Amino acid sequence: MALRAKNALTPQSDARETKAEASRAKILNVAQKLFARRGFEGVSIRELAEALGMTTASLYYHFPSKEEIFVAVHGRSLEAVQREVMDAIAGLKDPWDRLEAAAAAHSRNFASPERTGASIAAEYYEGSLAPFRKIMVPQRDAYERLIAMLVADLQLPAGVDAKLFRLQLLGALNWIPVWHRAGSGLSAEEVARKFVRHLRQGLDPAFRQAHKKSAAARKRS
């Protein structure tokens, strides 16, 4: 019945329960790709099962419902992008450079058809997913706090609301998969960097000065 109900200190230690977890991961990988392309309601579980080379009944061995698959994809995607953003900003000191690197990592995760894409927006839809918003919103909040922290470090000029600034940037980034096609012109990451720079030129008082006197003296802690 339940997939994980055994005692924590079971004798057979290590390589156990790998089969089910491998299947689960494979399901999530394929589901992520399909949901990103056609949305939650645009993908049937038969379609997903066929893409996986299994039957729908097998899917329901690993997940109790279609919605739970989506929630798992949603959570895994947000954990991945959070990890990649933290890696991307690790070595950088300047807050605008950190935001730019974060934006690039964000787009690398969400703007590709291989990745989550539009599914991150689907949580706002009404319908059968609505009861799961109380699971998905906290999943997203942790990532949102990370971005909000990066924005807070910018020391935006008075009169510019940090929340509005964040929503403007993330909106522009999240819309990239709608129009961007791989191979034509700039990559999604490059686009994301340009978006940050467009805003930076306006909202960072120091940037304009530094950029006007070429670009030499930039090396502080």
Partner DNA sequence: TCGATTTTCTAACGATCGATCGGTAAAAGT
Partner DNA sequence: ACTTTTACCGATCGATCGTTAGAAAATCGA
Binding residues vs DNA (CB under 7 A): 3, 6, 10-12, 16-17, 19-20, 23, 43-47, 53-62, 64-67
Residues 72 and 162 sit within 8 Å (Cβ to Cβ)? no
Using CA of residue 133, residue 136, residue 138, residue 144, what is the dihedral sign?
Answer: negative
> Any contact of residue 44 with a copy of itself (CB under 8 A)?
no
> Any contact of residue 202 with a copy of itself (CB under 8 A)?
yes
Nearer to DNA, 20 or 206 (CB): 20
Q: How many helices (H) and strands (E) does the chain have?
A: 10, 0
Classify burial at 184, counting beta carbons within 10 Å of its beta carbon; exposed 0-12, middle 13-18, buried 19 or more. Answer: exposed
Nearer to a copy of itself, 24 or 180 (CB): 180
Residues 73 and 119 sit within 8 Å (Cβ to Cβ)? yes
Report the alpha-carbon distance of residue 27 to residue 34 in Å, rounded.
11
Residue labelled with tokens 């009169």 = 159
What track of x and - describes contact with a copy of itself for positions 50 through 89 (by CB under 8 A)?
----------------------------------------
Nearer to a copy of itself, 104 or 191 (CB): 191
Report the alpha-carbon distance of residue 129 to residue 71 in Å, rounded.
9
Which entry of a copy of itself, DNA, none binds 62, CB below 5 to 8 A by partner kind? DNA
Long-range contacts of 209-215 (CB under 8 A, 24+ apart): none
Nearer to DNA, 45 or 148 (CB): 45
Report the alpha-carbon distance of residue 73 to residue 45 in Å, rounded.
14
Nearer to a copy of itself, 58 or 201 (CB): 201
Smallest separation, CB 83 to a copy of itself (Å)? 24
- Tokens encoding 124: 């706002």
Q: Which of 213, 178, 211 is nearest to 197 (CA)?
A: 211
Nearer to DNA, 53 or 171 (CB): 53
Which entry of a copy of itself, DNA, none binds 16, CB below 5 to 8 A by partner kind? DNA
- What residues between 127 and 156 interact with a copy of itself by CB under 8 A? 127
| Given 79, 114, 141, 161, the residue binding a copy of itself (CB under 8 A) | 161
Residues of this chain that interact with a copy of itself (CB under 8 A) are 37-39, 41-42, 118, 121, 124-127, 160-161, 164-165, 167-176, 178-179, 186, 191, 194-195, 198-203
